[in-house]
Amino acid sequence: MARSRVDENREKLRQAARDKIKSEKVISQLIENAEKLQTGAESDEGLSSNQIGAYKAANEIHFKLLSKVLPDVKAIEAEVNISSHESALDELK
C-alpha cells in the first residue's frame, strides 16, 4: 500500500522530534527539574514562585514534545469466548 505524502511528512516530523529528544536529553532534563524542585522544597530557603513557574513551564514544554513522539496508549477491545475458567487455564497450558 502506497503511503500518502501526509503520512510521509508526519513520519519525518516524528523522526525529527525523536532526534531532538535524543540530542537534548529531554527525559534527563525532566528528572533534573524534578530533583531541583524536591531539593528546593526541602531546603530552608525554599523556592520562589518564579522559580517554580519556570520549572513548571519547562517541564510542560518537554512533556508536549514527548507526547508528539511517544504513542498514546489506547484501549484495545477483544472478543473473548470462554465457557469456564478451567477451559481457559487448559488452553494456556
> Domain tally for the chain?
1
What's the N-to-C CA distance of the chain in angstroms?
Answer: 39
- Rounded Cα gap, residues 9 and 48, in angstroms: 43
Residue 81: phi and psi, rounded to 5, are -120, 95
Parent domain of 27: 5-92
Q: Using a cut of 0.85, tell me whether the model's pTM lies above it.
A: no
Each residue's pLDDT, cut to its tens digit, for the chain (93 residues) gives 567 888 888 888 888 877 777 767 778 888 898 898 888 888 888 888 898 899 899 989 888 877 776 665 554 555 556 566 666 667 666
| Per-residue confidence (pLDDT) for residue 57, from 0 to 100 | 92
Burial state string for 53-84 with b = 16 or more CB within 10 A and e = fewer than 16: eebeeebeebeeeeeebeeeeeeeeeeeeeee
